[in-house]
Amino acid sequence: MRPGILFIDDEPRVLRGLQRMLHAETDAWRLSFVTSTAEARARLEAAPYDAIVLDVSMPGESGLEFLRALKADERYRHIQTIILTGLQDQSLKRQALELGATDLLTKPVHREDLVVSLQSALRLKAYLDELEARNASLEQALFESAKMRLVGVLASGVVHDLNNILAVIVGYSDLTALLASGDPELLETVGHIRDAGERARKILYQILNLSRRNERVLQVCRLGHRRRVPRAAADLDPQGHYRPMGQARGGADGRRGSHADVPAAHEPVHQRRAGHGRKR
């Protein structure tokens, strides 16, 4: 859809001049021309617009008053507004910019200046529209994330309660199996009950794991203390178990590679060197 631009000026002669000036842009832009702010409001209600070119001096509601009302309306506050004025008044320009005008051009306006100002205003409007769409998408994503976290909390509570019930069922099935040790048919039935309970518990754990799939568990690891350092890999046998003292690889006394030989980080350097010298 072509960007829409609304021109507001109480002098029809000025509007005709602007229309002739921008005739070459009608293929790229959708141009509308009105002579009052009341008619401008009707046009805004009927169709969307991306930019407004507004005369500052008009009978009744002035251009600045219309601009103030426009920026106060949530529906139209993102429409970029260019002010046209025949007055060389710096305070007027400052006031227009403070109210949210995108640019201010002095009459008689040159075609090149007007086209460049409109192009900049339309680019800014497109950027703001994209930013608003992305913000809406992020808000929706945050809402979905919060909803999933709530589902995870609820699932965790339900799993906990159902697991307690299943623990009772499995426990009583085991007790029944002990009491019915002489009845093969009853034992088979009790076995089916227990198997069903165990399958239900596995399903509950799967649900719980699914609800926590995005959670990360962080653990604090303290380094630099002799009692906190784990044994070296040399103290492990091929199956990953610790070797008994005296059988560690790399030393006859079995102490090399164990955590007992790792100096604490706070020990002075000369003590470490002295200690190693005594071992040699």
Phi, psi of 38 (to 5 degrees): -65, -45
Quick one: pLDDT at residue 30? Answer: 95
Q: What does the alpha-carbon distance between residue 248 and residue 245 come to, in Å, rounded to a whole number?
A: 7
Q: Which strands sit side by side in the sheet containing 80-85, from one edge to the other?
A: 30-34, 4-8, 51-55, 80-85, 103-106
Q: Model-level pTM?
A: 0.53
Residue 101 token pair: 């005008």
The better pLDDT of the pair 231, 19 is held by: 19
Q: What does the alpha-carbon distance between residue 231 and residue 256 come to, in Å, rounded to a whole number?
A: 10
The better pLDDT of the pair 139, 256 is held by: 139
In our burial notation (b when 16+ CB lie closer than 10 A, e otherwise), range 210-224 reads ebeeeeeeeeeeeee
Coil, strand or helix: which one is 106? strand
Q: What does the alpha-carbon distance between residue 85 and residue 91 come to, in Å, rounded to a whole number?
A: 12
Q: What does the alpha-carbon distance between residue 187 and residue 201 come to, in Å, rounded to a whole number?
A: 21
190 in Cβ contact with 173 (< 8 Å): yes
Looking at the chain, the whole-number percentage of residues with pLDDT higher than 70 is 75
H helices of the chain, in order, are: 12-21, 37-46, 63-72, 90-99, 111-179, 184-211, 269-279
Residue 242 DSSP symbol = B
80, pLDDT greater than 60:
yes
Helix 90-99 with 63-72: angle, nearest 10 deg: 20
Quick one: pLDDT at residue 60? Answer: 87
Quick one: pLDDT at residue 116? Answer: 95
- The domains located in the chain, with CATH, are 4-109 (3.40.50.2300), 226-279 (no CATH)
193 in Cβ contact with 174 (< 8 Å): no
In our burial notation (b when 16+ CB lie closer than 10 A, e otherwise), range 49-61 reads bbbbbbbbbbeee
- State the pLDDT confidence band at 162, using cuts at 50, 70 and 90: confident
Q: What does the alpha-carbon distance between residue 5 and residue 11 come to, in Å, rounded to a whole number?
A: 18
Q: What is the mean pLDDT of residues 93-120?
A: 91
117 in Cβ contact with 25 (< 8 Å): no
Report CA 143 to chain centroid distance, whole Å.
10
Q: What is the mean pLDDT of residues 174-190?
A: 83
Where is average pLDDT lowest: 32-36, 95-99, 181-185?
Answer: 181-185
Radius of gyration of the chain from its Cα atoms, rounded to whole angstroms: 40
Interval 212-225: pLDDT, tens: 665 544 454 544 44
Interval 14-31: pLDDT, tens: 999 999 999 999 899 999
Q: What does the alpha-carbon distance between residue 186 and residue 188 come to, in Å, rounded to a whole number?
A: 5
Q: What does the alpha-carbon distance between residue 225 and residue 262 come to, in Å, rounded to a whole number?
A: 9
Question: Is the peptide bond between 108 and the residue preceding it cis, with omega within 30 degrees of 0?
Answer: yes
Quick one: pLDDT at residue 214? Answer: 52
